[in-house]
Amino acid sequence: GQQVMQIPQYQHVQEGEDFTTYCNSSTTLSNIQWYKQRPGGHPVFLIQLVKSGEVKKQKRLTFQFGEAKKNSSLHITATQTTDVGTYFCAGPDSWGKFQFGAGTQVVVTP
Amino acid sequence: DAGITQSPRHKVTETGTPVTLRCHQTENHRYMYWYRQDPGHGLRLIHYSYGVKDTDKGEVSDGYSVSRSKTEDFLLTLESATSSQTSVYFCAISEGELRSSYEQYFGPGTRLTVT
C-alpha cells in the first residue's frame, strides 16, 4: 500500500534560520496537503497542492509539489517561535483514503 | 475553527470495558473521519463515513466500530478496550472527497487512557 514518509522527524532551528522538511510518497498523489499541529492542539490545514511542480507561498512558508507528484517540501524562512509545532503532509491513496506522514516536529531556539 | 466538538475530551477506562467517543459537527459536511495519533506514527485513519449509515474501514480499524445515524454525529466505539488503544483520537470532517482536493477540519481531540 501507499506510504508517506517525512524527513526529518525532528528539526531544531535557531530563531531566524531557514529550514526545509520533506515528504515522499511511494505512489503518485492526486494532491498533497500540509497541516500544522501546535503542541497540545489539533491539526490545522495549511495548504493544498494539486499540479505537478506547483509552488505556493504563505508569508514565510513555501510549499512545493514535485514534478512526478510523489514528493513535496515545506521551506520556512526566518524561523520564528510561532513556527513551533509538528508539520504533517498527507495525500489520498487510490481509494481516496488519506495517508499522513509521521510529521516533522519543529523546535525553535530563541 | 470549524464547528466540530468531541466528547469526552479526556477519559480513563479499564481494560475490557466498552468505550464510545462522540464527534459532533455543525457544518453539515458529508464526510467524517476518526483518526488516532500516537508518537512516531502521525495520524492513522480508523474509520470514515461518506454519508448517513455509510461507513468504511481505514488502516487501523481492528477493535473499533463506528456508527453514523445523523449527518452531524459520528460515533467511535471500542467494544472491549485494550491498553494498545491508549491514544489521542481526532475526529475530522470534509465537505467532499479528499482525493477531489477537499481539506479536512479537525476536532479538538479526545485523550483516552486504558489501564
DSSP-assigned letters across all residues of A49-106: E-STT-EEEETTEEEEE-TTSSEEEEEESS--GGG-EEEEEEEE-TTS-EEE---EEE
Give which of A90, A102, A28 is closest to B101, Cα–Cα. Answer: A90
Say if A33 is an interface residue toward chain B (CB within 8 Å): yes
Per-residue pLDDT reduced to its tens digit, A77-97: 999 999 999 999 999 877 777
Q: Are A44 and B59 within 8 A, CB to CB?
A: no
The pLDDT of residue A46: 97
Q: What cell numbers appear for A9 in the block?
A: 522527524
Inter-residue contact A90 to A44 (CB < 8 Å): no
Could you identify the residue written with the cell 483518526? B35
Question: In this model, does residue A1 exceed pLDDT 70?
Answer: no
Inter-residue contact B46 to B88 (CB < 8 Å): no
Say if A85 is an interface residue toward chain B (CB within 8 Å): no
Per-residue pLDDT reduced to its tens digit, B22-45: 999 999 999 999 999 998 888 999
pLDDT (mean) for B15-28: 97
Q: How far is A30 from chain B (nearest CA, A)?
A: 6
The pLDDT of residue B100: 74
Question: In this model, does residue B102 exceed pLDDT 90?
Answer: no
Give which of A98, A73, A36, A94 is closest to B98, Cα–Cα. Answer: A98
The pLDDT of residue A78: 97
CA distance linking residue B21 with residue B36, whole number of Å = 12
Q: B111: buried, middle or exposed (CB in 10 Å: 19+, 13-18, 0-12)?
A: middle
Q: Are A96 and B104 within 8 A, CB to CB?
A: no
Q: Amino acid identity, residue B92?
A: A
